[in-house]
Chains A and B, each alone.
Chain A
């Protein structure tokens, strides 16, 4: 396995094809959680770990069960089931094993199970025929990309609270405008890697 290719995969997933700013997925969580820096950081940690584990699980199920049986058309249903089952199980275990972590991150876990980025990553892994390591690295890259987006947005929105925004734009509208501007800026990454 060449490390250069894996590094390219991380860069491509986190910056060039950033899930929030170029693919515009997962916006509900993005706007809901980016109001404060603390929740943004907690969400991105939970998000990245859940995404890596669930993409590994769904890679195993996809390549060892669904491809030999020739039932790959079921991948959307199965991936939703895998993600939801894993999130529910980890929610139950975390509540017992470490209640402190549960009260910090438990609210995000319920939100994550229906997120579209979490579903998109296994689907892209299956579509691009990534290997096991590549799919985990791709999930890590997309998690980093989501974390970057959340942290940028949270820091801007904390400043926006103090800014003199015209009355009709206060709250969510100005957040959408700012997101559009950052998305324009992220198009500058598009020539970073030549494939």
Chain B
């Protein structure tokens, strides 16, 4: 009985995660741009995807924030007050 957990630990230790994913996820023709490969290494793919998306998000966010700061247009607050009093379509 006490050898059971040794047994389970041995099984888990001998399996790589990518081997498990190999059985769980279909590996051929994943679709999109990954064109009909025999085998796709999922872990590096997910890693580079996350890094790339985070990088693009950071670059765009910072770029847009800096542009918005650099090119702000000062709007006179009185303009809105006057417009609110005047009749206009919603």
Q: Assess the A73–B52 pair: CB atoms within 8 A.
A: no
| B34 close to A70 (CB less than 8 A) | yes
> Which of B1-9, B14-22, B66-74, B82-90 forms contacts with chain A?
B66-74
- How many Å lie between the Cα of A73 and that of B63 in the bound state? 25
Q: Does B31 contact A (CB under 8 A)?
A: yes
**Majority secondary structure, A binding face:** helix
The interface residues of chain A lying within 8 Å CB-to-CB of B68 are 92
Q: Across the interface, which residues of A come within 8 angstroms of B43, CB to CB?
A: none
A58-88 vs B, Cβ < 8 Å mask (1 yes, 0 no):
0001000110011111110110010001001
A81:B73 contact, CB within 8 angstroms = no
A interface residues, tally (CB under 8 Å): 22
Q: Which residues of chain B have C-beta atoms less than 8 A from A96's C-beta?
A: 71-73
Tell me which residues across on chain A come within 8 A of B52, comparing CB atoms.
65-66, 69, 71, 74
Q: Which of B33, B45, B73 contacts A75 (CB 8 A)?
A: B33
Interchain nearest-CB distance for B39 vs A (Å): 13
A-B contact count (CB 8 A): 54
Contacts A71-B52, A96-B72 known; A81 to B33 CB distance under 8 Å? no
Q: Are B60 and A93 in contact (CB under 8 A)?
A: no
A185 within 8 A of B: no
Q: Across the interface, which residues of B come within 8 angstroms of A97, CB to CB? A: 71
Given contacts A72-B34, A74-B52, contact A89 B67 (CB under 8 A): yes
Report the separation of the CA atoms of residues A70 and B72 in the bound assembly, to the nearest whole angstrom.
39
The reply to whether B71 and A71 form a contact with Cβ atoms under 8 Å apart is no
A95 within 8 A of B: yes
Q: Give every chain A residue within 8 A of B79 (Cβ-Cβ).
A: none
14 other A-B residue contacts (CB within 8 Å) besides A69-B48, A70-B45, A74-B53? A61-B56, A66-B33, A66-B52, A71-B45, A71-B49, A72-B34, A74-B49, A77-B53, A85-B63, A89-B67, A92-B68, A95-B71, A95-B73, A96-B73
Lowest 8 A-B CB distances belong to which pairs?
A73-B32, A72-B33, A96-B71, A73-B33, A85-B60, A69-B48, A89-B67, A92-B67
